[in-house]
């Protein structure tokens, strides 16, 4: 399938049309942003790592019964995906307290929850992605009730798969953000990416943060951390 015109350039990815309207090509950049775009930088080689890692997870999750947008990795930065209409929702699953959860409720990071939690925010840069519940999402017309129930079910299933994957590699999956879309047949597919940009990953031995928090909070060693998770996930850097 041939790459055609640039459809959209986001903060960390470019999306191209192809000669088939049912498919898109996603191209991963090394750009990094945080604080809703207020902090910007570059993480050398990140696009390659995120492309590879995300594709690995999409294929693993397909095997576990979760439909995804993944079709084929084209080269180190580009992947062919099914075109979906993205629900303007960030779906966040958490196993331990960290980030905005710890801040919002005034608790320390690293407290394990008795059971995984899920939350949603409305993808809207101007409003800075406010939190919403499932009733609000339906009230705003962002999705239907059954759709959000499916999204929730997939969210917890994905958590179980990813938690197991990382645990085998000596890493605790603290939390992650995913996005879903709908194809023309109305099927809900996991879309966007799953990578150290969108997950919190802590080394089980040392507690070291091996994810984008190193960039968000200027902890240093960002490229090394991405390289380390890539090595553990795929056995290569």
Chain residues in the site for ligand TMP (CB under 6 A): 90, 92, 98-101, 175-177, 197-200
Q: Which is nearer to ligand TMP, 16 or 215 (CB)?
A: 215
Q: Which is nearer to ligand TMP, 20 or 167 (CB)?
A: 167
> Least Å distance between CB 199 and ligand TMP?
5
> Least Å distance between CB 10 and ligand TMP?
11
Q: Which is nearer to ligand TMP, 175 or 223 (CB)?
A: 175
Q: Which is nearer to ligand TMP, 103 or 187 (CB)?
A: 103
As a three-state string, the secondary structure of the chain is CCEEEEEEECCCEEEEEECCCCEEEEEECCEEEECCCCEEEECCCHHHHHHHHHHHHHHHHHHCCCCECEEEECCCCEEEEECCEECCEEEEEEEECCHHHHHHHCCCCCCEEEEEEEEEEECCHHHCCCEECHHHHHHCCCCCHHHHHHHHHHHHHHHHHHHHHHHCCCEEEEEEEEEEEECCCCCEEEECCCCCCCEEEEECCCCCECCCHHHHCCCCCHHHHHHHHHHHHHCCC
> Least Å distance between CB 4 and ligand TMP?
28
Angle between helices 145-167 and 46-63 (to 10 degrees): 110
Q: Which is nearer to ligand TMP, 67 or 99 (CB)?
A: 99
Number of C-beta neighbours around residue 163 at 10 A: 18
Q: Which is nearer to ligand TMP, 18 or 190 (CB)?
A: 190
> Least Å distance between CB 123 and ligand TMP?
8
> Least Å distance between CB 88 and ligand TMP?
12
> Least Å distance between CB 175 and ligand TMP?
4
């Amino acid at each position: 399938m041939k790459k055609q015109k640039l459809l959209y350039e986001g903060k960390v990815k470019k999306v191209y049309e192809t000669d088939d309207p049912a498919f898109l090509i996603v191209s991963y950049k090394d750009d990094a942003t945080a604080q809703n775009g207020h902090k910007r930088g570059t993480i050398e080689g990140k696009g390659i790592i995120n492309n590879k890692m995300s594709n690995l997870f999409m294929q693993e999750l397909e095997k576990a019964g979760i439909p995804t947008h993944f079709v084929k990795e084209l080269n180190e930065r580009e992947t062919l995906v099914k075109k979906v209409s993205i629900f303007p929702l960030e779906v966040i699953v958490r196993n331990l307290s960290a980030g905005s959860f710890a801040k919002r409720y005034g608790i320390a990071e690293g407290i394990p929850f008795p059971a995984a939690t899920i939350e949603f925010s409305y993808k809207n840069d101007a409003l800075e992605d406010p939190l919403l519940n499932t009733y609000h999402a339906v009230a705003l017309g962002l999705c239907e009730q059954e759709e959000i129930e499916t999204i929730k079910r997939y969210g917890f299933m994905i958590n179980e798969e990813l938690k197991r994957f990382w645990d085998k590699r000596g890493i605790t999956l603290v939390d992650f953000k995913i996005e879903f879309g709908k194809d023309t047949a109305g099927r809900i597919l996991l879309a966007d990416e799953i990578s150290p940009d969108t997950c919190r990953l802590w080394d089980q031995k040392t507690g070291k943060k091996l994810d984008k928090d190193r960039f968000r909070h200027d902890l240093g060693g960002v490229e090394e951390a991405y390289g380390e998770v890539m090595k553990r996930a795929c056995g290569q850097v």
